[in-house]
Amino acid sequence: MLINGPRGTKDILPDTVAQWLYLEERIRDICRCYGYREIRTPIFEHTELFLRGIGETTDVVEKEMYTFPDRGGRSLTLRPENTASAVRSYLQNKLYAAESIVKLFYMGSMFRYDRPQAGRYREFHQFGVEALGEINPSVDVEIILLAIEFLRSLGLEALVLHLNSVGCPKCRPAYREKLQAFFRPEMAELCTDCQSRFARNPLRILDCKNEHCHALSQGAPRITDCLCDECKAHFDKVQSYLKELDVPFELDSNLVRGLDYYTKTAFEVQYTPLGAQSAVAGGGRYDGLVEEIGGDATPGIGFAIGLERVLLALEKQELLPEIEEYVDVFFVALGEAAEKTSFKLMQKVRAAGLAAAMDFAGRSLKAQMKQANKKKSRFVAILGEDEVKDTSITLKNMKTSEQKKIVFEELIPMLSVGVKN
């Protein structure tokens, strides 16, 4: 019986790889402009890192992690996100020693045991950035701009930036109490998830996807009315910079994010045509995370973009680039001697950095020409018995249909000129 890939995973097939390479190139370009440097961390980490980093009562940790004991009995987890790993690496490798602000980016697979549907997978890819070491709200603005400008540079429209502040350990406890007082009379009406969130993390009730919980949240106290002076001043500055830079945003007091490490600024970028999975980017400030993972108190902020969702959005707007694959020369060989000579010439052409191919099945001239067309060959080099004898090639330019007899030595120079034109 055929063995299929696990549910929620996808093969990226040769025809689609070009789209990923395109995205990866755009990511590298924009990160260079903004001064973010690439970091690559392991796919799995000690489970403890995510328990402490993301928070034990989050959905990600409680329900979605791929956790397993290794053969030495250690508990390991496939990374469900990369912020905790980036912070671990920052501490372990003392990246803070070199610069007061460390700006990192990454791309790669993340793993969550989510319910698969369009735009939601169990293995998915994120492009993320993290800026560590600076509390100034202008870093928040730079990070938000980087997310928006990246998406815009791909041509995406209809992007909506949702912005909130989730406060800090100074102002959040009082807000939590207010929220609990608001929801207490409705306890029995909340969904079972929210009933358990009520005591542990009542802020999460605000972004419950259950329609009834959503309705019950109407009129709930807003965190932005309960911020301490420091958080309020920070949030005001972020907003005033965004206005100054003409970046439209919507204040969204129900935006609380699903990971526990957030403080102050929280944001998401929605691409509404994607429907249920419209969040293409999510991020925010996490001023307590470095300390949580064992370092000195260090502020941080970042975001991650779901690349499958970006590709879906690009497909919707018909913005996926047409990437043409071709070979520079296809060898059509007739007879065994011609085949051997063609093989030698093909290797020379390849060694010169050009793409060459030939048909290995010894088919007819017509069939080989068909193959050359299929491979979108720019030139076809035809070799028969006569050509082998007088060390010549019949070279056909497939664009102009022009055909010319040349000697072996002329092949690479002619191809190089032809390819340039």
Q: Which residues bind ligand HAM (CB under 6 A)?
A: 81, 83, 112, 114, 120-121, 124, 126, 128, 130, 258-259, 279-284, 286, 302-304, 306, 308-309
CA separation for the pair 87, 49 (Å, rounded) = 10
Residue with Cβ nearer ligand HAM (202 or 306) = 306
Q: Which is nearer to ligand HAM, 9 or 253 (CB)?
A: 9
Residues paired with 267 in a beta bridge: 163, 283
The first and second tokens of residue 288, run together, are 């307590």
**DSSP letter string, 308-369:** HHHHHHHHHTT--------EEEEEEE-SHHHHHHHHHHHHHHHHTT--EEE-TT---HHHHH
Q: How far is the CB of 144 from ligand HAM (least distance, A)?
A: 12
Minimum Å gap between C-beta 188 and ligand HAM is 30
d(CA 57, CA 66): 16
- With tokens 């409705």, the residue in question is 186
- Residue matched to tokens 């959040």: 172
Task: Quickly tell me which residue has 């080989």 as its tokens.
Answer: 368
Whole-number minimum distance, CB 261 to ligand HAM, in Å? 8
Can you tell me whether residue 50 is helix, strand or coil?
Answer: helix
CA distance 264 to 230: 9
Judged by beta carbon, residue 292 or residue 387, the one nearer ligand HAM is: 292
> Which residue's CB is nearer to ligand HAM, number 223 or number 259?
259
Q: Which residue is nearest to ligand HAM (CB)?
A: 306
Which residue number, 308 or 359, has a Cβ lying nearer to ligand HAM?
A: 308
295/335 with CB nearer ligand HAM: 295
Residue 221 backbone class (left: φ over 0; alpha: ψ -120 to 50; beta: rest): beta
Name the DSSP letter for residue 158: S
CB of 332 to ligand HAM, least distance (A): 46
Minimum CB separation of residue 79 from ligand HAM in Å reads 10
Residue with tokens 């400030």: 285
Closest distance of CB 159 from ligand HAM, Å: 12
264: left (phi over 0), alpha (psi -120 to 50) or beta: left
The residue (of 283 and 288) whose beta carbon lies closer to ligand HAM is 283
- Of the pair 58, 368, the CB lying nearest ligand HAM is at 58
Classify each residue of 195-209 as buried b or exposed e, where b means 16 or more C-beta atoms within 10 Å of its C-beta: eebbeebbbbbbbbe
Minimum CB separation of residue 283 from ligand HAM in Å reads 4
* Shortest CB 315 distance to ligand HAM, Å: 15
